[in-house]
Amino acid sequence: MFFLTPRHVKQGKQFAKDARKLLAYKRDVWTAATVNEVETHIQGLEAAVRGGEAKPIEEAAHQLDQLVGKHVTMPADAAVRENVEVFLVAIVVALGVRTYFLQPFTIPTGSMQPTLNGIVFHETKEAEPNFVVKFFQGAVFGRHYVNFVAEERERLMGVKEISSPLPFVSKVGNIGGIFTRTEITTQSESGKVRSYVIKEAPDTVESQFYRLAQGKVFEPGQPIIRGYFDAGDHVFVDKISYNFRKPKKGETFVFTTQGIPKLMNPGKPSTFFIKRLGGTPGDELRIQAPNLYINGEKAKEAGFARVMTGTPANPSDGYKGYGNHFDQRHWDQPAAISQLIHLGSPDDSFKVPPKEYFALGDNSYNSYDSRGWGTVPEKNIMGRALIVYWPFLPHFGLSR
């Protein structure tokens, strides 16, 4: 039996097999004399293997190895080639996993809070902590600090998008790159223009800071922006499950904005949104704050139940229930606030069309979702949120 065969016999058989493959590959380029010589040594090794003795097998394999080594020379850059090959294979595997199985996605806004955190700016009055604390907070919370102080009497003038070639660097001279950054500018009464780079996208900076501070005048020594940004939750999206079953109510799902008119910006590509799946084709929805009703009954799924435990006046673990309007005081979405077209009052109901899905944010009063821009076509759905893999606090683990 094979598992009782001595190790030296197994190795001898494998060496002879590999040598025959090499001979078949090189037969057209080696001379007839070389082919005969290699064939003779292979036969010698095979005979030793049949004998079963360790020493003859070892000697025959050694002789065959030396002979083949004379005729197969390693290229000078063999190590480089091998490393490049490994690197390319790793890229191909990663791209394959991303395309067909799991895709990373970053939560950009607070529409799903407190279930999933978007990028949040926290204003502070204190100085930045030391390097050790900042390093720890960066690793655990995805936190980075900002501190831009007025030197003269300055007015906040504007923001613009720039890019950096490195992920952890705000800007490298005038070199562009693939990592989006935001540059804010000020102008003093003397005409001096200053700029400051923030390692966040312009939509985030505008919604979290600039909308409230635009045009504001700062006195010398006054902080223009001081505090820290916490990274949005990074999730892996399961792209497999929906190939075998339909999306279910209550699941957190990711979809593209392609073809949804109110979500498409002229001249810009489509993007991805993440929401909770509030209604499937044929469902009739109604919101009577703080509750969501599906087909005349109060929603029972766990995700909906958590949201409905609180109200704006009495939140429960951050949940405020479902509402029929936006709360403009805490609006942080990149899209402009508009009148709700669906479920805008407790008496309004909406029936989800065939092959369409209704998306709702857990942070209902601060979520631009299907109430404001309509339903999600079935073809737009990418998958369901599976795992929060970073930051490590507070939501690390399976997505709820």
Q: For CATH 1.20.1270, list the domain ranges present in the chain.
A: 2-71
Burial class from Cβ neighbours inside 10 Å (0-12, 13-18, 19+) for residue 60 reads buried
Q: What mean pLDDT do residues 56-75 have?
A: 82
Task: Judge whether residue 289 has pLDDT over 90.
Answer: yes
Residue 152 has pLDDT above 50, yes or no: yes
Confidence of residue 194 (pLDDT cuts 50, 70, 90): very high
Is the entire prediction scored with pTM above 0.85?
A: no
Pinpoint the residues of the chain covered by CATH 2.10.109.10.
Answer: 234-398
DSSP E strand boundaries for the chain: 102-106, 120-123, 143-149, 154-164, 179-188, 193-198, 217-218, 223-230, 234-238, 252-256, 272-279, 284-288, 291-294, 297-298, 349-351, 356-360, 376-377, 381-390, 397-398
CATH architecture of 234-398: Ribbon (2.10)
Residues 138, 230: Cα–Cα separation, whole Å: 8
Q: What percentage of residues in the chain have a pLDDT greater than 70?
A: 88
Q: Determine the topology of domain 2-71 in CATH.
A: Substrate Binding Domain Of Dnak; Chain:A; Domain 2 (1.20.1270)
pLDDT in tens, 83-136: 776 777 777 666 666 667 888 888 888 889 899 998 888 899 888 899 999 999
User: Which pLDDT band holds residue 1 (cuts at 50, 70, 90)?
Assistant: very low
For the segment 237-279, what is each residue's pLDDT rounded down to a tens digit?
999 999 999 999 999 999 999 999 888 877 777 889 999 999 9
Predicted confidence band of residue 75 (pLDDT cuts 50, 70, 90)? low
